[in-house]
């Protein structure tokens, strides 16, 4: 499946009509060179999604805001209402204690990432956008 190509989604219209939340997790930054082609794909998904469905984009925050602005513009261009945009920087941490993870630490023998920072502590790291299809 080519996640950017509209034709890859043609057979999934029935599936989109049943979903309340669509999550695009690092999908777009990995395909930035084809981001312009994604507009048609996003329009197809939004048109087949039910009213009030949410679209959540979590992706790489870059020093240049062009990518994030393009994603936000594509969501709005597909008829979605952008409800919130948030940036996660090195200073942000997950406030929940590790004890909330139950047996995760022993089952997987590793600690989960609970902070937002990049290699050598360079800024920035991630952003999220929440949008909704209004009736």
Q: For residues 55 and 83, is the Cβ–Cβ distance under 8 A? A: no
Which of 34 and 133 is assigned the larger pLDDT? 133
Higher-confidence residue of 50 and 123: namely 50
Q: Which one is predicted more confidently, 11 or 21?
A: 21
- Examine the pLDDT at 96 and tell me if it is beyond 90: no
Interatomic CA distance for residues 25 and 29, integer angstroms? 9
Average pLDDT over residues 53-58: 97
| Three-state secondary structure call for residue 102 | coil
DSSP-derived 3-state class of residue 85: strand
> Which pLDDT score, from 0 to 100, does residue 116 have?
57
pTM for the whole thing? 0.77
């Amino acid at each position: 499946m080519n996640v950017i190509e509209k034709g890859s989604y043609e057979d999934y219209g029935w599936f989109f009509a049943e979903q309340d939340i669509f999550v695009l997790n690092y999908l777009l930054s990995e395909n930035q060179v084809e981001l312009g082609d994604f507009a048609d794909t996003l329009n197809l998904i939004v048109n087949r999604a039910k009213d009030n469905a949410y679209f959540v984009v979590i992706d790489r925050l870059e020093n240049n805001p062009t990518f994030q602005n393009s994603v936000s513009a594509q969501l709005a261009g597909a008829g979605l209402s952008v409800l919130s945009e948030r940036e996660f920087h090195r200073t942000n941490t997950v406030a929940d204690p590790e004890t909330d993870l139950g047996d995760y630490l022993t089952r997987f023998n590793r600690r989960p990432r609970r902070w937002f920072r990049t290699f050598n502590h360079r800024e920035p790291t991630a952003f999220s956008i929440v949008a909704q299809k209004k009736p």
